[in-house]
Structure 1
Amino acid sequence: MEVIIAQEAGFCFGVKRALRLAEKALKEYGEVFSIGPLIHNQRVIDELKEKGLKVLDSVSEVVEGPVIIRSHGITKGAFEELKKKGIKIIDGTCPTVKKVQRLAQSLSRKGFFVVLIGERDHAEVKGILSYAEGNAIVVESFLEIPEGLPKRKIAALVQTTQGPERVKEILGVLFERVKEIKVYNTLCEAAQRRQKEALELAKKVDLMFVIGGKESANTRRMVEVCKRVQARTYHIEGPEEISPELLKTAKKVGLTGGASTPPHLIKEVYERLTAL
């Protein structure tokens, strides 16, 4: 059985940056806090916890620092509360996400009504929405676009890991309903490259594995993309989820990983596949 690994599988720039900041802070301070998981991969978070990372649920739990901001960012209110407490802040927000936060704030202050295309329960989306200062809505599907949407001064922003097909569908309906709209392509270029590569790989194999945390939006998106062309696509978190039964009749297997998937985990899955 041949196993093919996608070239861009694993940690993206934003995740590498957040982890580098966390590792440096842990060496310097011994104990560091984060509001929510630093990245969406529980295995990596567990490794950081062993080194001194403490994951908190909210800013109200913070009594000392330093606090590292998760790669997805936090809400504007939470960030300001940390400042008021005088806590040392290490900003691990992905630079691409930070850019969208600034755009949301700038546009809303200029009088634009912001339509944010993304998953409303995702940390990144919650953070971006908070910077729009109330003049915004989140839309996950074109069916959610309200009839009473203003006809002018609409600005469309996108969660960085969204799939372009869904974005185009929503924008198509917006174009029909409004007279004036500014569209900002805030999709992460690296995430788009990964999705395209995963799609092409899935077309060539009999079986596809996408490694990543179940909470990872970009990993789930790659799974969706791969399933369009390869029904035998599986979202796994580790090698222990692979059984010989899954590999029946497969002569060629594709393997990729989400932006929060460490290289050593991809290697472990590869070794599991080649051993069966």
Structure 2
Amino acid sequence: MGNRTAVIVACALVGLTVSTPAFADSPAPSTYGRASYLLDESTGKAMISKRADKRVPIASLTKIMTAYVVLGQAKLTDKVRITAKDVRYAERGGATTADLRPGDRLTVKELLYGLMLPSGADAAHALARTYGPGVDGFTAKMNATAKAMGLSNTSYVNADGLPARGGDGYSTARDQARLAAAALRNPTFRSVTSTKSRTVASTADHRAYSWTNTNRMLDAPGSLGVKTGYTRAAGFNLAFAADRKGRRLVGVILGETDSSRRFDTARSLLKWAAKHPVEGNG
């Protein structure tokens, strides 16, 4: 068996499809979980594709679309008033929160940090309620945006990715990588997701908000962060990206069973991809 054939067989055994020519000297790292996808956004070429079109719940990766829709229609200086309903919604669902306090008035830009760094379901609810108007109206906008972008295997049921009574939303690794790549072209989104921590003043009292990014990829060279996610149904998810050697690499890992391994795998994929430039679209 030749080297190239051996690499292809090895990839098949782990359920991995490498959409670029096999690199016999350096096969792609193994990926785990339900699905994964790695896009060279600079060329449009898929470098890794493992069950990339399998529809699965994506948990808080949903908030990538929430931020994308908000950035498309709101001014960063707009003020949003936090209500008791925003806070109760997150607490009732057992979700991660930005610990927002009723009566506070925060700018859209500040709320985007609360949405993306600590993955605040309260921030998601406040933004969706304001810019739907209403959560249902906002969710409809999310789905309309997905359709307009050609994300044909994506459906949202809320703005945060929490399980819903009528059924969870779903997407695919390929769709989420394409969405993340589009969102990262917005400098504000890129700045937010690549921030490790942020302190924001409160208008309701003298206590400031201090938010830390849940994404442990930010120590990787050129990392742009993006988003983590977890629910029992979705498993551990990760959307990640980095600028390496003049190329933007965007990846998604869905349905991992080990929280730490998703970050280790993403680092390995970025390191491998940076050594293997590809050409053309795909």
TM-score when normalising by structure 1: 0.29
TM-score (normalizing by structure 2): 0.28
